């Protein structure tokens, strides 16, 4: 080859070569140094000729790998490569030699050349800078790609874990309703394998889900029913969303099994709608049932009956026999009522001892009466509960839809009215609601409303009826009697308004007012310097059931400043006999306050006098019914005589009320009755008249001692 | 079937072991890490066997370098690695962990340099011990399946496999000499001479 090329041409080839070329001779000294290497090393050909590489680059360490390789090639003559990849520093070559910036990345190839029995070494230096830059960019991109992939993978792993570990079943499906994917929870919920679920239609899992209505399900949560692999239906809650993937609409349903919640809801609903004690419907459920019964009856033009029932004397039993017995009794009543009706009918316990019944689809009002009679029949026999034989009465009020009303509230209120009517007309009976009852109800309602305001408007007042000592003929006391002067209706009898006050609970307020007024007035009179007398006041049965009655009285006495011995409380014999056990404690407490107790209406309650010894009473008031016909009816005379005699033997004083004529006085005096009260002496007087006629008179004798 | 006698086998093993020792020391010096090369296993076998074996051991994805040599005997010398192992090797040597699943240009260069040192050492030891002249070309980076890499010019192969241990990694590499029938005979003759001298 060299034969064809001139030296000049060879030199040009070497100089213009785009790689660095160095040739070392056998002595390892430079004999060729081309322009490329001169340019990038900053060392001219003249500088390096005849020098070794170590001399040319004194800054390079003597043990540099490159030098070793050069040594090696003189030994083995094998071609060698030295790359920038594995060696940080090779020749000190720079893009800009002046500033020594941008060191050139190199690959170096060495060849041993033999010429005329001598070994030369050709060193070729390749500039790898551009490759290096490309590679750096490539690497950077690769790192970024790796990072992205990793992030994506992490996100996928994370989301997959979320999907797989959520308790909700997740199902995606296409717009044909075909299932595309499901999570683990879905396979559990439906008891299907993943493969079984794939490509099923969504409606085979959720009843009627992907349907015309589906649009309204989107982005909402609905409750519906699903069906599992065994064909078992169960309630679910479904949230539905949608997304677009590759221009395809995909739906995602998130399902939650709500069987448990439903069960709990039902339990809660049951508790909320039923009476804990008896398991009967409570008032809320009763209202619901009544509303739907009316709606149904309206559609089908049927008759329904609403009954209200109330146990007579339940409170007394509860008080005297204890709550345990009371509770058992209520349970027993619930059983009886349930047995008296059909399955479609409803029995509810509205409160305490108040029950209600709805009878559906009646052909005839007689059917309701039959039910009422069946119930009354049952209670006509005494019940035995925990060894107690209890005589229970039931009062039943009945209304009919649609005759009396077509409104639930009214039906109920009319039945209530009828029930009270039944109660008042003798207990253990039933009463149909009627037009008269209706007007009576209105009247009572009116009275109740005005009674409520009566205290405020000062329409109530006390009248005082004098009580005279039969022996001395002198005034010893007075009975305070309540008067209501209605602005329009004038005087209203206590016989008329006291039952209303008792039913409405106004009796407590009125009772307190009476007591306070009586005590205050008595104290006022004493302060005015009149001779002190005892004022007696009637206590109602309702008041006597108050637990802290004695305490109230004690406060009242303190407030008025009246000495307790000038207050006498009258309790009816009937109440005392019926509530002997429960009222004894209250009476003892009252007596302990030093208040006198008298038995009112004595003789009407069929009690034995001996029985009275149990009570801390001091006085017996013979009922007016015996006194009225004393002079004509021998039986009455005998009774009065016996009462006086026996009372005295028990150390009790006796007062006769309703004394209207002289003959009665004569008889009573002969029998040594202690005191009298009645029209013969005086009708009840207003406080001013009483003060004027009885107190403002010194030592007045109201009865002469002779016949 | 051509076979190496036990003596020949031992002699070649020793010879290549010297080469590997040199190579290991050169490599260690170069990367400032201790690199160990195991005693090579040597087998004289057919091309088909090697193609099959390499395919099995490498999932038929191989990278390496190839150098043509000539002299008293001639042929191709190859240093081959399973492709992913070759990456592992150069990346350990270059101190990089790249996410790329192919060797970059620089990595190919690096593999060439490493391969060159090893093959130099093997051929050098062979030439020195057998007192023969061998010349060869610069290494070429090659990659592909075993059938492609071992071209069909020769049916007999002197096959060596070597374990590289560096930085607690074991990397198995293979040295393959594709020799013509003449060259095998030559090699055996030279070994015979060598054995006689001992």
Give residues with Cβ within 8 angstroms of A63, minimum separation 6.
none
Average pLDDT over residues B118-139: 85
CA angle B192, B194, B195 (to 5 degrees): 65
Coil, strand or helix at A521: helix
Interchain pair A107, B30: CB under 8 A? no
Does the beta carbon of A679 lie under 8 angstroms from any beta carbon of chain B?
Answer: no
List the single residue in B with minimal CA-CA distance to A114: B135
The pLDDT assigned to A119 comes to 92
pLDDT averaged over every residue in chain B: 83
Coil, strand or helix at A599: strand
List the single residue in A with minimal CA-CA distance to B132: A76
| Distance (Å, whole) CA A552 – CA A560 | 12
Which residues of chain B are within 8 Å of residue A129 when distances are taken between CB atoms?
A: none
- Does B153 score more than 70 pLDDT? no
Residue with the bigger pLDDT between A284 and A574: it is A284
pLDDT in tens, B47-72: 888 888 888 888 888 999 999 888 87
* Integer angstrom CA distances of residue A488 from A454, A485, A510, A702, B49: 12, 9, 20, 37, 131
Please report, in angstroms and rounded to a whole number, the separation of the first and last CA atoms in chain A: 185
Q: What domains are defined for chain A?
A: 7-127 (3.30.450.20), 166-262 (3.30.450.20), 276-433 (3.30.70.270), 448-695 (3.20.20.450)
Interchain pair B124, A76: CB under 8 A? yes
Instruction: Output the CATH code of domain B6-197.
Output: 3.40.1550.10
Question: What residues of chain B have any CB closer than 8 angstroms to a CB in chain A?
Answer: 29-31, 90, 93-94, 98-100, 104-107, 109-110, 112-114, 116, 120, 123-124, 127, 135-139
Whether the CB-CB separation of A671 and A693 falls below 8 Å is answered with no
Residue with the bigger pLDDT between A578 and A110: it is A110
CB contact residues (below 8 A), chain A span 118-137, against chain B: 128, 131-132, 134-135
Please report, in angstroms and rounded to a whole number, the separation of the first and last CA atoms in chain B: 27
Residue with the bigger pLDDT between A566 and A383: it is A566
Indicate the pLDDT class of residue A2, thresholds 50, 70 and 90. very low
Number of Cβ pairs < 8 A linking chain A and chain B: 70
Q: Which residue has the tokens 């060879």?
A: A10
Interchain pair A65, B99: CB under 8 A? no
Which residues of chain B are within 8 Å of residue A85 when distances are taken between CB atoms?
A: 90, 93-94, 106-107, 109-110, 113
Closest CA to B84 of B114, B51, B62, B115: B62
Indicate the pLDDT class of residue A1, thresholds 50, 70 and 90. very low
Please give the biggest Cα pair distance in chain B. 54
Give the minimum alpha-carbon distance from A75 to chain B in angstroms, rounded to a whole number: 10
Which residues of chain B are within 8 Å of residue A65 when distances are taken between CB atoms?
A: 29-30
Residue A204 sits at φ, ψ, to 5 deg, of -75, -15
Interchain pair B93, A128: CB under 8 A? no
CB contact residues (below 8 A), chain A span 60-119, against chain B: 65, 68, 76-87, 107, 109, 111
Domain boundaries, chain B: 6-197
Does the beta carbon of A278 lie under 8 angstroms from any beta carbon of chain B?
Answer: no
Interchain pair A86, B113: CB under 8 A? yes
List the single residue in B with minimal CA-CA distance to A134: B105
- Does A606 score more than 70 pLDDT? no
The pLDDT assigned to B127 comes to 84
* Integer angstrom CA distances of residue A221 from A214, A254, A386: 12, 9, 54
The pLDDT assigned to A438 comes to 66
Judge if the upstream peptide bond of residue A402 is cis by omega within 30 degrees of 0: yes
Interchain pair B31, A86: CB under 8 A? yes
| Distance (Å, whole) CA A171 – CA A160 | 13
pLDDT in tens, A79-108: 899 988 888 889 999 988 888 888 899 999
| Distance (Å, whole) CA A534 – CA A513 | 18
Residue with the bigger pLDDT between B97 and B19: it is B19
Average pLDDT over residues A224-242: 90
Average pLDDT over residues B134-158: 83
| Distance (Å, whole) CA A109 – CA A113 | 13
Which residues of chain A are within 8 Å of residue B105 when distances are taken between CB atoms?
A: 131, 134-135
What is the DSSP-derived secondary structure letter of residue A694? I
- ipTM of the modeled complex: 0.84
Does the beta carbon of A143 lie under 8 angstroms from any beta carbon of chain B?
Answer: yes
- Burial code (b: 16+ CB inside 10 Å, e: under 16) for A680-692 equals bbbebbebeebbe
Which residues of chain A are within 8 Å of residue B139 when distances are taken between CB atoms?
A: 81
Closest CA to A73 of A53, A96, A88: A53
């Amino acid at each position: 080859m060299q034969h064809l090329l001139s030296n000049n041409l060879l030199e040009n080839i070497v100089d213009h070569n785009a790689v660095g070329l160095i040739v070392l001779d056998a002595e390892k000294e430079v004999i060729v140094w081309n322009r490329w290497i001169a340019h990038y090393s900053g060392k001219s050909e003249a500088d390096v000729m005849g020098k070794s590489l170590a001399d040319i680059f004194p800054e390079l360490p003597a043990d540099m790998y490159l030098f070793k390789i050069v040594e090696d090639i003189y030994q083995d003559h094998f071609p060698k490569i030295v790359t920038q990849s594995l060696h940080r520093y090779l020749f000190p070559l720079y893009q800009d030699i002046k500033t020594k910036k941008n060191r050139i990345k190199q690959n170096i190839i060495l060849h041993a050349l033999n010429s005329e029995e001598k070994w030369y070494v050709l060193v070729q230096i390749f500039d790898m800078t551009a490759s290096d830059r490309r590679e750096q960019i490539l690497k950077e991109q690769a790192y970024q790609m790796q990072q992205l992939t990793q992030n994506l993978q992490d996100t996928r792993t994370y989301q997959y874990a979320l999907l797989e570990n959520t308790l909700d079943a997740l199902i995606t499906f296409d717009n044909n309703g075909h299932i595309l994917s499901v999570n683990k929870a879905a396979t559990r919920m439906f008891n299907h394998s993943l493969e079984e679920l794939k490509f099923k239609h969504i409606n085979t899992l959720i009843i009627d889900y992907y349907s015309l209505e589906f649009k309204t399900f989107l982005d909402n949560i609905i409750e519906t029913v699903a069906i599992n692999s065994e064909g078992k239906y169960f309630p679910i809650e479904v949230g539905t969303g949608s997304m677009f993937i590759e221009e395809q609409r995909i739906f995602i349903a998130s399902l939650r099994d709500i069987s448990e919640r439903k069960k709990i809801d039902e339990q809660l609903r049951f508790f909320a709608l039923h009476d804990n004690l008896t398991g009967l419907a409570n008032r809320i459920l009763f209202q619901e049932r009544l509303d739907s019964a009316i709606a149904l009856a309206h559609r089908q033009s049927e008759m329904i009956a609403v009954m209200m029932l109330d146990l007579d004397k339940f409170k007394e039993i509860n008080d005297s026999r204890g709550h345990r017995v009371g509770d058992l009794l209520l349970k027993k009543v619930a059983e009886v009522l349930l047995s008296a009706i059909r399955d479609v009918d409803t029995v509810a316990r509205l409160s305490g001892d108040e029950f209600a019944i709805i009878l559906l689809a009646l052909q005839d009002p007689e059917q309701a009466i039959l039910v009422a009679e069946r119930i009354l029949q049952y209670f006509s026999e005494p019940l035995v509960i925990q060894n107690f034989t209890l005589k229970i009465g039931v009062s039943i009020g009945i209304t009919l839809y649609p005759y009396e009303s077509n409104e639930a509230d009214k039906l109920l209120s009319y039945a209530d009215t009828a029930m009270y009517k039944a109660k008042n007309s003798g207990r253990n009976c039933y009463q149909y609601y009627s037009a008269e009852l209706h007007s009576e109800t209105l009247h009572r309602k009116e009275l109740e409303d005005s009674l409520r305001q009566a205290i405020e408007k000062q329409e109530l007042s006390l009248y005082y009826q004098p009580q005279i000592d039969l022996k001395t003929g002198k005034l010893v006391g007075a009975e305070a009697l309540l008067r209501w002067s209605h602005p329009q209706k004038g005087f209203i009898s206590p016989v008329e308004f006291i039952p209303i006050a008792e039913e409405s609970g106004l009796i407590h307020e009125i009772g307190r007012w009476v007591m306070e007024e009586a005590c205050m007035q008595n104290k006022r009179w004493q302060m005015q310097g009149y001779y002190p007398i005892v004022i007696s006041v009637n206590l109602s049965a309702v008041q006597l059931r108050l637990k802290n009655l004695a305490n109230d009285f004690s406060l009242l006495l303190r407030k008025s400043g009246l000495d307790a011995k000038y207050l006498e409380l009258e309790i009816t014999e009937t109440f005392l006999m019926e509530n002997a056990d429960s009222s004894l404690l209250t009476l003892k407490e009252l007596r302990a306050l030093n208040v006198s107790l008298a038995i009112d209406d004595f003789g009407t309650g069929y009690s034995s006098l001996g029985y009275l010894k149990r009570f801390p009473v001091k006085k017996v008031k013979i009922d007016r019914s015996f006194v009225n016909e004393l002079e004509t009816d021998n039986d009455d005379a005998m009774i009065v005589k016996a009462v006086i005699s026996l009372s005295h033997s028990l150390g009790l004083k006796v007062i006769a009320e309703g004394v209207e004529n002289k003959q009665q006085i004569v008889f009573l005096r002969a029998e040594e009755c202690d005191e009298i009260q009645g029209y013969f002496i005086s009708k009840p007087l207003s406080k001013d008249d009483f003060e004027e006629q009885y107190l403002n008179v010194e030592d007045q004798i109201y009865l002469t001692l002779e016949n | 079937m051509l076979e190496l006698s036990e003596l020949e086998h031992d002699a070649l093993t020793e010879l290549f072991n010297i080469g590997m020792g040199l190579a290991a020391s050169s490599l260690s010096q170069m990367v400032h890490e201790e690199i160990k090369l195991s005693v090579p296993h040597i087998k004289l076998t057919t091309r088909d066997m090697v193609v099959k074996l390499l395919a099995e051991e490498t999932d038929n994805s191989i990278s390496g370098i190839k150098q043509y040599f000539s002299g008293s005997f001639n042929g191709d010398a190859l240093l081959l690695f399973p492709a992913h192992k070759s990456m592992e090797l150069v990346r350990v040597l270059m101190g990089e962990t790249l996410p790329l699943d192919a060797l970059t240009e620089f990595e190919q260069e690096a593999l060439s340099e490493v391969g060159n040192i090893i093959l130099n050492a093997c051929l050098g030891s062979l030439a020195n011990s057998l007192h023969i002249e061998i010349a060869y070309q610069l290494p070429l980076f090659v990659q592909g399946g075993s059938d492609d890499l071992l071209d069909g010019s020769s049916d007999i192969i002197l096959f060596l496999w070597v374990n590289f241990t560096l930085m607690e990694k074991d990397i198995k590499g293979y040295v393959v000499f594709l020799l013509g029938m003449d060259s095998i005979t030559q090699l055996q003759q030279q070994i015979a001479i060598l054995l006689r001298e001992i």
